[in-house]
């Protein structure tokens, strides 16, 4: 057996460990995203008009207090009458002329208000994901620096869920409002890509290919997933989904819905009291974050 001196052994150990350490540091902080989701779930149900909804608003307001935060308050015409709602938009400036939008919804389902529906996967997980992405973007834009590429805007939509039952007019209130507003003021023309995250904290991650999503964005997400060896979690099945991206798709904005609608055995956790924190994982949020951040990089290269 070959004998190494102490220093040679130490050097060899460093050579073996260093690449692993670099690789670990390259991954997105899914543990942080999960912790934000945990804190958000602890608020409890957050359906529009509830005290929990006001607490959810304050949670986002406090987290992004030192960022370029815009509160987009509006009144939605719903089956129960006018309802005050509020989108949150957080902007991180880039060096290139254009915007990449990452979005999620943060409220819970109004019809489920009596069953303690906390929406751990359906709203909280992706809220935590975007918050952790915001942390990373904040570090990159500290001290007046700009992102090396397009500006990135995080959007937290209100009113994605139906107030009574899902129809084209009783759903996606926040995204329909903001898409129309940005259409009027010219903002839509600046958006290079719109990426929606929905229900992707699921421990058993299985993200469908939403069939109205832009093909080139699907290809970039697939490429990003392949880089990390995550292909099995993405796009094994195709399915059309009515979601917050549709108001942007209909206005010609290149958009993609990253969504996992297969939640629990036979989708048995979706919109039930079983949508709780134990059904989501930091591992899934790490996968999501890795792919979102790599897709941003690939969009900037186009």
DSSP structure string for 193-250: EEEEEES--BSS--EEEETTS-HHHHHHHHHHHHHTT-GGGEEEEEE---STTHHHHT
The rounded distance, in Å, linking the Cα atoms of 25 and 29 is 9
What pTM value is reported for the model? 0.91
Spell out the residues 6+ positions from residue 86 whose beta carbon is closer than 8 angstroms to its own. Answer: 57, 71, 72, 73, 74, 158
Give me the pLDDT at residue 147, please: 98
Give me the pLDDT at residue 151, please: 98
pLDDT in tens, 201-232: 999 999 999 999 999 999 999 999 999 999 99
pLDDT in tens, 261-289: 999 999 999 999 999 999 999 999 999 99
Alpha helices by DSSP H, listed for 151-237, are 173-185, 215-227
pLDDT in tens, 120-156: 999 999 999 999 999 999 999 999 999 999 999 999 9
Alpha helices by DSSP H, listed for the chain, are 6-26, 30-42, 51-63, 125-140, 173-185, 215-227, 246-249, 282-301
Is the pLDDT reported for residue 253 higher than 60?
yes
**What is the distance of C-alpha 78 from the center of its chain?**
25
Report if residue 159 sits inside a domain: yes
Q: What is the CATH number for 50?
A: 3.40.630.10
Q: 98: helix, coil or strand?
A: strand
Report if residue 151 sits inside a domain: yes
Structural domain range at position 287: 28-301
The rounded distance, in Å, linking the Cα atoms of 193 and 253 is 7
Give me the pLDDT at residue 7, please: 37
Report if residue 217 sits inside a domain: yes
Report if residue 162 sits inside a domain: yes
The rounded distance, in Å, linking the Cα atoms of 2 and 25 is 33
Domains held by the chain: number: 1
**What is the distance of C-alpha 104 from the center of its chain?**
5
Residue 26's pLDDT band, with cuts at 50, 70 and 90, is confident
């Amino acid at each position: 057996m070959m004998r190494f001196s102490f220093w040679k052994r130490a050097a060899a150990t460093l050579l073996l460990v260093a690449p692993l350490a670099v690789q670990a540091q390259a991954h997105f902080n899914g543990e942080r995203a999960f912790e934000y989701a945990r804190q958000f779930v602890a608020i409890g149900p957050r359906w529009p008009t509830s005290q929990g909804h006001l607490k959810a608003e304050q949670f986002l307001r406090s987290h992004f207090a030192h960022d370029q935060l815009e509160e987009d308050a509006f009144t939605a015409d719903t089956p129960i009458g006018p309802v005050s709602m509020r989108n949150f938009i957080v902007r991180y400036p880039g060096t290139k002329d254009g915007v990449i939008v990452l979005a999620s919804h943060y409220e819970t389902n109004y019809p489920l208000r009596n069953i303690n529906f906390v929406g751990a996967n359906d709203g909280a997980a992706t809220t935590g994901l975007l918050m952790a992405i915001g942390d990373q973007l904040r570090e990159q834009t500290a001290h007046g620096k700009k992102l090396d590429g397009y500006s990135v805007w995080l959007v937290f939509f209100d009113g994605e869920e139906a107030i009574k039952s899902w129809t084209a007019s009783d759903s996606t209130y926040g995204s329909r409002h903001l898409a129309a507003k940005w259409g009027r003021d010219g903002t839509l023309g600046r958006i290079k890509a719109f990426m929606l995250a929905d229900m992707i904290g699921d421990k058993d991650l299985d993200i469908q290919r939403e069939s109205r999503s832009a093909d080139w964005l699907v290809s970039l997400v697939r490429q990003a997933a392949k880089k990390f060896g995550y292909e099995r979690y993405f796009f094994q099945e195709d399915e059309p989904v009515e979601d917050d991206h549709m108001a942007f798709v209909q206005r010609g904005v290149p958009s993609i819905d990253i969504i996992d609608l297969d939640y629990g055995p036979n989708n048995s956790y979706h919109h039930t009291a079983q949508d709780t924190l134990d059904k989501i994982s930091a591992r899934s949020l790490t996968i999501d974050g890795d792919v979102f951040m790599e897709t941003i990089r690939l969009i900037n290269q186009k």
